[in-house]
């Protein structure tokens, strides 16, 4: 099949050809960027989180009398542990992805003071404060060092201050890597004058209560602190078999409400907390999928429309070619190749445009660079759609009988 | 003449039903998607206090005593700076603001206690922001001074607790303190919740929470100090001061809004806060005396990039989509007009001028635009319904208002005329002789 005659024909039908090329270019550019955005949202929805998400339920208690915390917390824990099916119970100040974030900035030098967030020397970290045994309830995975000793809990309180009054902490692997790249974090200290905390252990990456950027890395800057009976411990967590979650959740909420009639009690499975956090991300992703699908459909319809117009216009020409010995296959392949070329030019333009749009988005929306892989993938998708759309009109063209040549013109 | 063109257009559209349907569909889909997003943008970028937003200002000072390299004030103020600026009463109206989530229950109402969002503010808040009342009225400046235990509640809370009845005079228990209801708001939903906006530049585009509902309970700022204590939402702190009183602590958690009715007053207030900062530096409390700033309400919203990144992104996407649909329509219109070359040739031979043919083709494109506009309007309604079902704070705000309804048809017809321009030009250039020969 020769390309020269196709190009010659396209020169004669410049406007429709340019229209198809522009439409494909725009569709390609939008498709690449939209799919990229979808994939980033999917990646953030599926960020790993090193706690036993499926086995956890949480019962939060707010508005209780803070002066009674020392008496209430052990009593509440004992009552929750008594529910049939509960394997372990603990209490923590906040949970990953609960949006209830207590963040603080720390430096690695003894004279580090709290400064603006934009400061390079300090790292913003989320704080989780927890009662003894809660690390087992959550299923934190210890990578180095140790968890807190029993004597490190009782004296550590936060009250209305900003930081707990302990001097030990357990941090995540990502945070350790960020603070002391290539060194062992054990025994090192983080500072925020006058407070300081020595790292005694490192755990696998746990997400923060609120994600920072969708790049994932900063979202794992979490730290854990031991805490005695303090009103900051507001989230009771229970570990139980996933199958019995719903029943245990109901019983736990009832029991807590009965024990603390004046407090505001809220119960959720951990999965529900995670789903709620990502609810609008996932609905945005579905919206993008819908837009892409409709956009491709519209593009395909446009190709069908223009190709059939073309075929009608060239009926006489096709008839002559058939009369001169061209087979049906020749005609079919002619239109397919023509479409392939047009879409190809469109894709080339589209890739440049996609790259341009990406540069614009990088400048305005803190988006990273579009991975190169998306370009050939987008190209392939459009080629397939182009070929699919042109098939019908091309078959109609192939069906033009040679006798047409003898009738008109 | 127009009537005749219209008749011709309708005849021609009826003749090629499939092609017409494709074109109408392409325009409808493009218009539907772009109008959905444009409406969301329109609602999120509206003026929250249309009557007087140009007179509302947000003064800022930098109370941090650290000699670091801070180049901008915090988004909120410490208690001392805010109350000292407020007490000077240099503006036409001024309101202090601090928010907290507090346990609330209503004695005599059979509901479990709930966590309510509360706002501690001063009496000017209500007239200054045009807050509408359903029952009762705001508290007075005297109540502010006397730390009166009074509150104003939202329409939502009044419906939830009292079934919408006039609850003025009833008592609520807020974190153990008894307070008396003096006013109930009428439904009030500023978009965004401008007076609470802060920290937008750290939010990385996730600013949907700026569009949440107003607080459920409003109480006098000073009474709030007694009731709320440490439970105020703190924006940030510049050092770790353990266990100290929030009011003397190193934290920023109060906002001050002022109303300044003339340009001269705006200038005078700028000078006033600059002088205040200098004076505080002289007292040794401030280090960064030149770090004062006062933006107008709309500037402050822009500075905080209040419109969520997702929404702006979707709007771009919707317009790219409309452009694709337009290319599509250009192609299809071209196919349609050129297919009728014979007919146009006859009309030209019978004396129709190029201009006439051009106008006739444009009328046809316009009719398609109108039909596409109707389809686009229906699709936009569907799109907005989908947006309303999304789990975002602004979902309940989104609806198609009259200007946007008209814009839908305006955009549809403009788009189709634009798309029809090139095909109509080509059709009007058809040489009659060539076409007549082939008939």
pLDDT in tens, A369-398: 888 888 888 889 999 999 999 999 999 899
- For an interface test with A, the pick among B202, B241, B321, B423 (most A C-beta atoms closer than 10 Å) comes out as B321
Nearest to A163, CA basis, from A97, A105, A91: A105
Confidence of residue A8 (pLDDT cuts 50, 70, 90): confident
State yes or no: pLDDT of B224 exceeds 60: yes
CA B13 remoteness from chain centre: 41
| CA dist., res. A236 & res. A80, Å (int) | 9
pLDDT tens digits for A251-262?
Answer: 999 999 999 988
Pick the residue from chain B with its C-alpha nearest to A316: B438
Contact in structure between A405 and A320 (CB atoms under 8 Å): yes
Contact in structure between A199 and A176 (CB atoms under 8 Å): yes
Q: Which CA distances in Å does B372 have to A16, A387, B316, B386, B430?
A: 22, 28, 21, 20, 28
pLDDT the model gives residue B241? 63
Contact in structure between B379 and B373 (CB atoms under 8 Å): no
Nearest to A115, CA basis, from A123, A330, A84: A123
pLDDT tens digits for A180-200?
Answer: 999 999 999 998 877 899 999
Pairing of strands B293-296, A168-172: unpaired
**How is residue B115 written in tokens?**
């966590």
Kindly determine whether residue B25 and residue A361, on different chains, have CB atoms separated by under 8 Å. no
Kindly determine whether residue A23 and residue B324, on different chains, have CB atoms separated by under 8 Å. yes
Kindly determine whether residue B243 and residue A195, on different chains, have CB atoms separated by under 8 Å. no
Nearest CB among A193, A305, A409 relative to B22 is that of A305
Confidence of residue A409 (pLDDT cuts 50, 70, 90): very low
Q: Check if B111 contacts A (Cβ < 8 Å).
A: no
State yes or no: pLDDT of A116 exceeds 50: no
Strand intervals (E) in A150-276: 168-172, 189-192, 195-203, 222-226, 235-239, 264-269
Mean pLDDT of B128-142: 94
| CA dist., res. A181 & res. A370, Å (int) | 28
DSSP 8-state symbol, B77: B
**How is residue B132 written in tokens?**
């509408």
pLDDT the model gives residue A65? 82
Confidence of residue B202 (pLDDT cuts 50, 70, 90): confident
Mean pLDDT of A14-34: 88
Kindly determine whether residue B330 and residue A264, on different chains, have CB atoms separated by under 8 Å. no
Mean pLDDT of A2-22: 82
Pick the residue from chain A with its C-alpha nearest to B392: A280
Nearest CB among A26, A195, A276 relative to B240 is that of A195
Kindly determine whether residue A306 and residue B332, on different chains, have CB atoms separated by under 8 Å. yes
| CA dist., res. B291 & res. B281, Å (int) | 11
Kindly determine whether residue B103 and residue A162, on different chains, have CB atoms separated by under 8 Å. no
Cβ contacts (< 8 Å) between B338 and chain A: which residues? 309, 313
What percent of chain B is modeled with pLDDT above 70? 97
Nearest CB among A30, A62, A308 relative to B103 is that of A62
Strand partners, A105: A124
Cβ contacts (< 8 Å) between A213 and chain B: which residues? 204
| CA dist., res. A192 & res. A103, Å (int) | 12
Kindly determine whether residue A16 and residue B335, on different chains, have CB atoms separated by under 8 Å. yes
Kindly determine whether residue B390 and residue A283, on different chains, have CB atoms separated by under 8 Å. yes
Mean pLDDT of A285-292: 88
For tokens 């609330």, what's the residue?
B104
Kindly determine whether residue A34 and residue B312, on different chains, have CB atoms separated by under 8 Å. no
Mean pLDDT of B187-204: 89
Q: Which helix (H) or strand (E) holds B210?
A: none
Kindly determine whether residue A62 and residue B330, on different chains, have CB atoms separated by under 8 Å. no
Contact in structure between A248 and A89 (CB atoms under 8 Å): no
Phi and psi, residue A282, nearest 5°: -75, -35
Kindly determine whether residue A301 and residue B328, on different chains, have CB atoms separated by under 8 Å. yes
Contact in structure between A180 and A214 (CB atoms under 8 Å): no
Question: What are the extents of the domains in chain B?
Answer: 2-45+308-438, 53-303
| CA dist., res. A243 & res. B18, Å (int) | 55
Mean pLDDT of chain A: 88
Residues 320-379 in B contacting A (C-alpha not used; CB under 8 Å): 320-321, 323-325, 327-328, 330-332, 334-336, 338-339
Phi and psi, residue A85, nearest 5°: 100, -20
Flag the least confident range among A148-152, B121-125, B355-359, B428-432: B428-432
Q: Check if B25 contacts A (Cβ < 8 Å).
A: yes
Cα B151–Cα B152–Cα B154 angle in degrees, nearest 5:
135
Cβ contacts (< 8 Å) between A284 and chain B: which residues? 310, 314, 390
Q: How does B284-313 read in b/e, with b if 16+ C-beta sit within 10 Å?
A: eebbbbebbbbbbbbebbebbbbbbbbbbb
What percent of chain A is modeled with pLDDT above 70? 96
pLDDT the model gives residue B71? 65
pLDDT the model gives residue B211? 93
- For an interface test with B, the pick among A23, A119, A274, A304 (most B C-beta atoms closer than 10 Å) comes out as A23
Which comes out higher in pLDDT, residue B169 or A9?
Answer: B169
Nearest CB among A213, A309, A366 relative to B335 is that of A309
Nearest CB among A19, A27, A312 relative to B330 is that of A19
Nearest CB among A22, A26, A306 relative to B335 is that of A306
Share of chain A residues as helix, strand and coil, in percent rounded to the nearest 5: 55, 15, 30
- For an interface test with B, the pick among A17, A19, A304, A364 (most B C-beta atoms closer than 10 Å) comes out as A19
Pick the residue from chain B with its C-alpha nearest to A99: B209
| CA dist., res. A291 & res. B115, Å (int) | 39
State yes or no: pLDDT of B437 exceeds 90: no
pLDDT tens digits for B237-265?
Answer: 877 665 568 888 888 999 999 999 999 99
Kindly determine whether residue A116 and residue B335, on different chains, have CB atoms separated by under 8 Å. no
Question: What are the extents of the domains in chain A?
Answer: 4-46+279-407, 94-233
Cβ contacts (< 8 Å) between A114 and chain B: which residues? 66, 237-240
Q: Check if B424 contacts A (Cβ < 8 Å).
A: no
CA B68 remoteness from chain centre: 36
Cβ contacts (< 8 Å) between A294 and chain B: which residues? 29, 33, 321
Phi and psi, residue B384, nearest 5°: -70, -35
Kindly determine whether residue A29 and residue B320, on different chains, have CB atoms separated by under 8 Å. yes
The alpha-carbon gap from A318 to the nearest alpha carbon of chain B, in Å, equals 17
Nearest CB among B68, B114, B330 relative to A115 is that of B68
Kindly determine whether residue A295 and residue B324, on different chains, have CB atoms separated by under 8 Å. yes
Cβ contacts (< 8 Å) between B321 and chain A: which residues? 30, 291, 294-295
What percent of chain A is modeled with pLDDT above 90? 48
Pairing of strands B177-185, B133-136: antiparallel
pLDDT the model gives residue B237? 81
């Amino acid at each position: 099949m020769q390309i020269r005659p196709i190009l010659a024909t396209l020169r004669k039908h410049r406007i429709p050809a340019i229209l198809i090329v522009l439409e494909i270019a725009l569709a390609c550019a939008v498709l690449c960027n939209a799919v990229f955005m979808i994939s980033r949202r999917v990646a953030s929805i599926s960020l790993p989180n090193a706690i036993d998400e499926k086995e956890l339920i949480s019962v939060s208690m707010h508005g209780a009398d803070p002066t009674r915390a020392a008496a209430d917390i052990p009593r509440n824990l004992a009552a929750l542990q008594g529910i049939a099916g509960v394997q372990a119970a603990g209490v923590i100040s906040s949970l990953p992805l609960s949006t209830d974030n207590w963040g603080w900035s720390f430096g690695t030098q003894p004279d580090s003071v709290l400064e603006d967030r934009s400061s390079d020397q300090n790292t913003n970290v989320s704080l989780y404060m927890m009662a003894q045994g809660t690390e087992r309830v959550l299923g934190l995975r210890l990578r180095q060092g140790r968890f807190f000793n029993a004597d490190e809990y009782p004296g550590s309180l936060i009250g209305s201050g900003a930081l707990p009054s302990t001097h030990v902490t357990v941090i995540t692997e990502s945070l350790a890597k960020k603070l002391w790249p290539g060194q062992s974090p054990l025994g090192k200290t983080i500072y925020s004058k006058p407070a300081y905390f020595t790292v005694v252990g490192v755990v696998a990456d746990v997400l923060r209560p609120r994600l920072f950027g969708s790049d994932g890395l900063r979202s794992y800057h979490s730290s854990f602190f031991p805490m005695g009976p303090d009103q900051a411990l507001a989230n009771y967590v229970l570990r139980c078999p996933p199958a019995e979650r719903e029943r245990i959740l109901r019983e736990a909420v009832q029991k807590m409400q009965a024990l603390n009639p004046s407090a505001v009690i809220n119960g959720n499975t951990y999965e529900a907390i995670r789903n709620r956090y990502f609810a609008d991300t996932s609905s945005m992703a579905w919206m993008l999928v819908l837009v892409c699908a409709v956009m491709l459909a519209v593009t395909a319809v446009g190709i069908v429309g223009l190709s059939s117009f073309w075929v009608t216009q060239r009926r006489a020409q096709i008839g002559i070619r058939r009369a001169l010995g061209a087979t049906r296959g020749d005609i079919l392949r002619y239109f397919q190749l023509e479409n392939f070329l047009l879409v190809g030019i469109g894709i080339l333009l589209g890739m440049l445009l996609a790259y341009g749009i990406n540069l614009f988005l990088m400048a305005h929306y803190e988006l990273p660079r579009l991975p190169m892989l998306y370009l050939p993938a987008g190209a392939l998708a459009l080629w397939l759609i182009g070929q699919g759309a042109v098939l019908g009109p091309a078959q109609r063209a192939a069906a033009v009988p040679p006798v047409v040549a003898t009738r008109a013109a | 003449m127009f009537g005749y063109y219209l008749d011709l257009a309708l005849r021609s559209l009826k003749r090629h039903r499939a092609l017409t349907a494709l074109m109408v569909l392409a325009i409808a889909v493009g218009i539907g998607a772009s109008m959905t997003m444009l409406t969301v943008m329109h609602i999120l970028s509206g003026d929250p206090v249309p009557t007087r937003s140009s007179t509302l200002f947000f003064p800022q000072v930098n109370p941090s005593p650290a000699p670091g390299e801070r180049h901008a004030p915090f988004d909120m103020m410490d208690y001392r700076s805010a109350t000292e600026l407020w007490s000077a009463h240099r503006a036409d109206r001024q309101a202090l603001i601090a928010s907290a989530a507090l346990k609330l229950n209503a004695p005599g109402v059979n509901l479990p206690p709930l966590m309510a969002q509360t706002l501690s503010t001063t009496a000017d808040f209500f007239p200054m922001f045009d807050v509408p009342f359903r029952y009762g009225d705001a508290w007075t400046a005297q109540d502010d001074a006397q730390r009166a235990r009074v509150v104003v509640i939202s329409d939502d809370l009044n419906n939830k607790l009292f079934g919408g009845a006039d609850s003025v005079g009833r008592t609520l228990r807020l974190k153990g303190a008894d307070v008396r209801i003096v006013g109930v708001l009428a439904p009030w939903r500023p978009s965004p919740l401008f007076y609470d906006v802060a920290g937008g530049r750290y939010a990385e585009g996730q600013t949907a929470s700026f569009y949440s509902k107003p607080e459920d309970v409003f109480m006098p700022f000073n009474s709030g100090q007694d009731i709320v204590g440490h439970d105020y939402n703190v924006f940030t702190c510049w050092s770790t001061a353990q266990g100290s009183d929030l009011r003397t602590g190193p934290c920023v958690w109060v906002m001050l809004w002022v109303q300044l009715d003339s340009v001269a007053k705006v200038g005078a207030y700028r000078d006033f806060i600059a002088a205040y900062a200098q004076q505080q530096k002289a007292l040794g409390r401030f280090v960064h005396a030149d770090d004062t700033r006062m933006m107008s309400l709309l500037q402050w919203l822009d500075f905080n990039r209040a419109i969520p990144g997702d929404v702006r992104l979707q709007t771009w996407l919707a317009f790219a989509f409309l452009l694709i649909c337009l290319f599509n329509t250009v192609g299809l219109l071209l196919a349609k007009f050129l297919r009728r070359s014979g007919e146009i040739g006859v009309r030209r031979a019978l004396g129709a001028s190029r201009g006439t043919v051009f106008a006739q083709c444009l009328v046809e494109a316009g009719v398609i635009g109108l039909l596409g506009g109707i389809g686009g309007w229906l699709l936009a309604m569907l799109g907005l319904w989908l947006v309303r079902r999304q789990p975002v704070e602004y979902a309940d705000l989104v609806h198609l208002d009259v200007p946007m309804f008209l814009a839908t048809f305006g955009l549809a017809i403009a788009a189709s005329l634009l798309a029809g321009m090139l095909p109509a030009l080509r059709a009007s250039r058809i040489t009659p002789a060539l076409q007549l020969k082939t008939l």
